[in-house]
Structure 1
Amino acid sequence: MEQKTILVTAAILMLAACSQSEIETEGQATRQIQATSVIEGAMTRALITGDVALSNLTFLRKDVESTTSSLTDFSSPTATITGCSRATSGGAITFGSSQDYDKEGKKTFLRGYTTEGIKTTNTRATVETTEWTVNGKTDILLTDSWDAGTYTDSKNSGMTFKHLLSRIEVICQAEATSSSTLDVVKAAWGKVTKIEVLDAYPEITYTHSTGAVAASGTTKAFELLKDYTSENATFVAKDINANGTSTADAVAMIPPIPLTNSPSYSFQLKVTTAGAAVTTGQPTQIEKTINVSLSSSAGSSNEAMTAGQIHKVTLSFKADGKNISIAASTIETWTDGSTGATDVDKPTA
């Protein structure tokens, strides 16, 4: 009997302790998660500089054990927070719904991304993904996995949005030989009507479980645009510029193109012009494919395009109407705008 009394007493004490713990937890004041952020390179669209506001962001939230030091897997998140935004001044994040820390002491991790251009967010399949369709003028940003801390050890800084795309910018100019060359070059080639990047991926995919970001879809020729900001940015036929021009004629933001073992080049451009002027009938269109080999240091070549970099190529149109060489190429990082030298392969025809 005495043993039963002791067991009953112990059970009552345990229940009382649990009840007291619940009362203490429920009595705790809520503590909101607050976050500030920076943007890699402080840009969203390529021609906008400085700190910028972002709207219609989505964040994946996952609450895990407090001892977790880092998190990659955001599949089956604790919450998917839509309608979020980033302020211009200070980069403060406003969540679409109030986000409070877990009172039981779990640690919160967050990962956010821009939603413009999203093709689909697949959360019902075995592998959860978010896929964007690339239009050439809209940047796609994704944060690192951000540790927001716990109820008793909160954090509010360290979140960084990073670019998932790379930029290509092309300048078309006449070869430098004499003052009369420009008119000769224009007559030999006609207007530039189209510039394409070959074997470009039309989509980019973020896999929630692994954190992997990769180009996706079936590769195709991607037409460069006239600029990043116009509502209708479709490339418009234009004259070849005088030698020494520095303003880009055609631009795009696309997923980085991976290297292939053979042939050896970083990427290919296909240039189409209206053709040489004729006295009767219509000019014959000219198409040229140009291999571009990028190098960030002496002795290297055929380096891959990477996200967060600007690849600028200056094309030199010859007066013979048959050859285009690459007069110059630079790599400028999206992060700090530094410029490095590159080596390029000049086409033989």
Structure 2
Amino acid sequence: MSAILLTGGAGYIGSHTALALLRAGFDVISIDNYSNSNDESLQRVQQLAGRSLQSLQMDIRDEQALTALFQQHRISAVVHFAGLKAVGESTAQPLAYYDNNVAGTITLCRVMQRAGVKRLVFSSSATVYGDAKTMPIAESAPRSATNPYGQSKLMIELILEDLAASDPDWSIALLRYFNPVGADKSGKIGEDPNGIPNNLMPFISQVAVGKRTELSVFGNDYPTKDGTGVRDYIHVVDLADGHLKALQYVQQHAGIDAFNLGTGVGYSVLDMVQAFADKNKVPVPYRIVARRPGDIASCYADPTKARQLLGWQAQLTLDDMVQDSWRWQQQNPHGYQE
């Protein structure tokens, strides 16, 4: 039987997708260089699924190792998560981002092409829309990027479009994520950032659990209802289901297509803080600080296309997001390092 290859499979979204694929009956191989993840996530995925997967330590820039992998296994499609993903760090270290994200993807595609494996689901991002002028954002909105991380995702999209145009056998889905939050209901797998979290929800959780004293809210003078940034938060379990649906789609359709994975609803930073505190009955002290460079006022998806073509839409609510995040944080106050 052929397997699905996940690059970056031990990461936050990769591990939840691995679980969804195992539960749907797929055989899964994960490769990860563990620069920002932990193999413990995949140990837990296997316990939850009651099925095993194969996990290998490998870097997508290692062409020799990748080539050997494709020779040794029957791989039918690739779900490509592997990438560096911190906006601030990308501004400080652009070369690392272009090398890892862009050059790594080129190497992966070259190996896939030689192996005759031409079905790919790519983990893109809503950052490719830059500072969008109209809300909600549809897939046809103009693309631009405001930082090297977003730029790397946009470059990869353009490269994959050229690849699909050059060879009609390729079938590629570009999944533009909005803001993934939450964790598996079991509390066994979740988001485990290195150092200070870049994302809002793990920061709120770490404050609630007493690991940090207060949340910094970056700016309260945006043109939004309460002055704080508005984002489209999507539960990671819904996001994983989106990958499952996209995988089924690329197995039946050739060419390349982009899909927004979001709820279509925008919540402000203070909405999230309030919901977390209210639902989990735990205080979340916060302080307003200066805006962060590169942040935009609001960003939320038009998810119509994914509903129409993939048969996918978000099912889980804001309550699910904050409760599942808190359950994971309480059970794993130090992430996977326990």
The TM-score with structure 1 as length reference comes to 0.22
Q: Which is greater in Rg?
A: 1
Q: Whose helix fraction is larger, Structure 1's or Structure 2's?
A: 2
- TM-score computed with the length of structure 2 as normaliser: 0.23
Higher strand proportion: 1
RCO higher in structure (CA 8 A, sep ≥6): 2
